């Protein structure tokens, strides 16, 4: 009896192994169909993943990148595709030379069917595993925004003195100038100066974060918070209350040394309603710079320093105007330079006006067109203030 049990166990194992090996051949056709079908499903999943990745990576608002896990998964699917296709090709080749699934083609054909069946079975396991993995993984992750990002600007002459004055308020460690207000009429170059400050400190890396947000006349606290949140990598639904957003912004900024740039403020804003605490500004030695057309706003914003941005003088204005019109065009008629100087003078030293009108007139080669432009500017001088480009384009 003691001898029988081990023998039966060995026999059982041999039988199971033999039956399993026989199934490689006997079920080859069915397993091939299953493999082809399941891999087609995997291929569709692969294509969907690639499509989602492409859309996420090209999203200009919230760009994302593929995870390392999904990159590895895609590579394994690609490698498996080559291997599965080879198995399908091998099956077709074996049938073409007279093989079948039941060894009727002789020992050689039977051995080939066995090897093919075994490979098909194992590849099916891999396919099923990859299908399950795909259900458990994230495809992409949101890119962290660049905390120090430069932006394109139009260089305007005559700003160096004011730029250096603002720079002095921001680079001196330990000074008590935390909030700086830049004021002046529309079109004088306040926004350009603010952009230049952004680029300077993006390069200096004096601050952990440089944040630029546009306020505008139609004040929207949520809009300001959205712009700040985008820079911090924080977002909310439209229904999220202002105080909740402010709390989230505060949590991120309380341990950061930041430079907050607010453009085009028309009325006083309580920074704390946005999420920027003045205590945090002091403790972290952060700074705030804002632009406004109204000097009174500087007081409402409790600016430690108010800097007036003034128009270009007559010589600077003429040089800038010539740059935009192009010197050769001014020689299209002997009288054009004199009229052009008068047109430039009507711009009142406003960089935006000089740039806008200069570009518009750069295609005008007829003296009458220049005279008409001068007449229009003089006639509507009462309407001509700061941001007037829409007014001018109405006539030209």
Confidence of residue 250 (pLDDT cuts 50, 70, 90): very high
Q: Residue 31: its pLDDT value, please?
A: 85
What is the full DSSP assignment across 33-96? Answer: HHHHHHHHHHHHHHHHHHHHHHHHHT-SSS-EEE-HHHHHHHHHHHHHHHHHHHHHHHHHHHHH
pLDDT digits (tens, 9 = 90+) for 343-362: 999 888 888 889 889 998 88
Confidence of residue 66 (pLDDT cuts 50, 70, 90): confident
Q: Residue 12: its pLDDT value, please?
A: 44
pLDDT at 219 over 80: yes
pLDDT digits (tens, 9 = 90+) for 301-327: 999 999 999 999 999 999 899 888 877
Mean pLDDT in residue range 122-143: 79
Nearest to 28 by CA among 127, 109, 129, 108: 109
What is residue 159's DSSP assignment?
-
Q: Where are the beta strands (DSSP E) in the chain?
A: 64-66, 140-142, 179-183, 209-214, 258-265, 287-292, 305-308
* Better-scored residue on pLDDT, 388 or 314: 314
CATH superfamily of 160-308: P-loop containing nucleotide triphosphate hydrolases (3.40.50.300)
What does the domain layout of the chain look like in residue ranges?
A: 4-142, 160-308, 314-393
* Better-scored residue on pLDDT, 395 or 168: 168
Q: pLDDT averaged over the chain? A: 82
Q: Residue 95: its pLDDT value, please?
A: 66
Q: Residue 290: its pLDDT value, please?
A: 97
């Amino acid at each position: 009896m003691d001898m029988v049990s081990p023998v039966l166990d060995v026999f059982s194992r041999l039988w199971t192994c033999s039956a399993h090996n026989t199934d490689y051949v006997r079920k080859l056709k069915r397993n091939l169909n299953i493999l082809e079908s399941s891999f087609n499903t995997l291929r569709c999943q692969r294509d969907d993943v690639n499509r989602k990745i492409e859309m996420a990576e090209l999203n200009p608002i919230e760009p994302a990148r593929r995870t390392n896990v999904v990159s590895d998964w895609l590579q394994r699917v690609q490698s498996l595709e080559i291997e599965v296709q080879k198995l399908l090709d091998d099956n077709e080749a074996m049938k073409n030379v007279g093989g079948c699934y039941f060894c009727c083609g002789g020992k050689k054909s039977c051995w080939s069917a066995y090897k093919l069946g075994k490979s098909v079975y194992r590849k099916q396991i891999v396919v099923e595993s990859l299908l399950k993995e795909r259900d458990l993984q994230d495809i992409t992750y949101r890119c962290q925004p660049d905390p120090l990002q430069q932006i394109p600007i139009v260089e305007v002459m005559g700003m160096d003195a004011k730029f250096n004055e603002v720079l002095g308020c921001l680079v001196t460690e330990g000074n008590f100038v935390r909030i700086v207000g830049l004021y002046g009429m529309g079109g004088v170059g306040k926004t350009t100066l603010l952009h230049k400050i952004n680029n300077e400190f993006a390069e200096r890396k004096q601050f952990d974060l440089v944040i630029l947000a546009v306020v505008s006349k139609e004040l929207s606290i949520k809009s300001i918070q959205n712009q700040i949140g985008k820079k911090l990598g924080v977002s909310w639904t439209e229904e999220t209350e202002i105080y909740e957003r402010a709390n989230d912004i505060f949590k991120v900024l309380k341990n950061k040394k930041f430079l907050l740039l607010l453009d085009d403020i028309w009325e006083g804003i309580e920074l704390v309603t946005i999420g920027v605490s003045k205590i945090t500004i002091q403790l972290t030695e952060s700074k705030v710079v804002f632009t406004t057309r109204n000097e009174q706003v500087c007081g409402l914003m409790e600016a430690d320093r108010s800097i007036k941005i003034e128009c270009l003088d007559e010589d600077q204005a003429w040089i800038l105007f010539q740059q935009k019109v192009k010197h050769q065009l001014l020689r299209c008629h002997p009288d054009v330079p004199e009229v052009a100087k008068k047109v430039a003078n009507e711009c009142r030293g406003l960089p935006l006006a000089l740039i806008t009108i200069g570009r518009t007139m750069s295609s005008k080669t007829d003296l009458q067109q220049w005279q008409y432009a001068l007449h229009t500017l003089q006639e509507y001088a009462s309407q001509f203030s700061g941001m007037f480009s829409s007014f001018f384009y109405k006539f030209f």
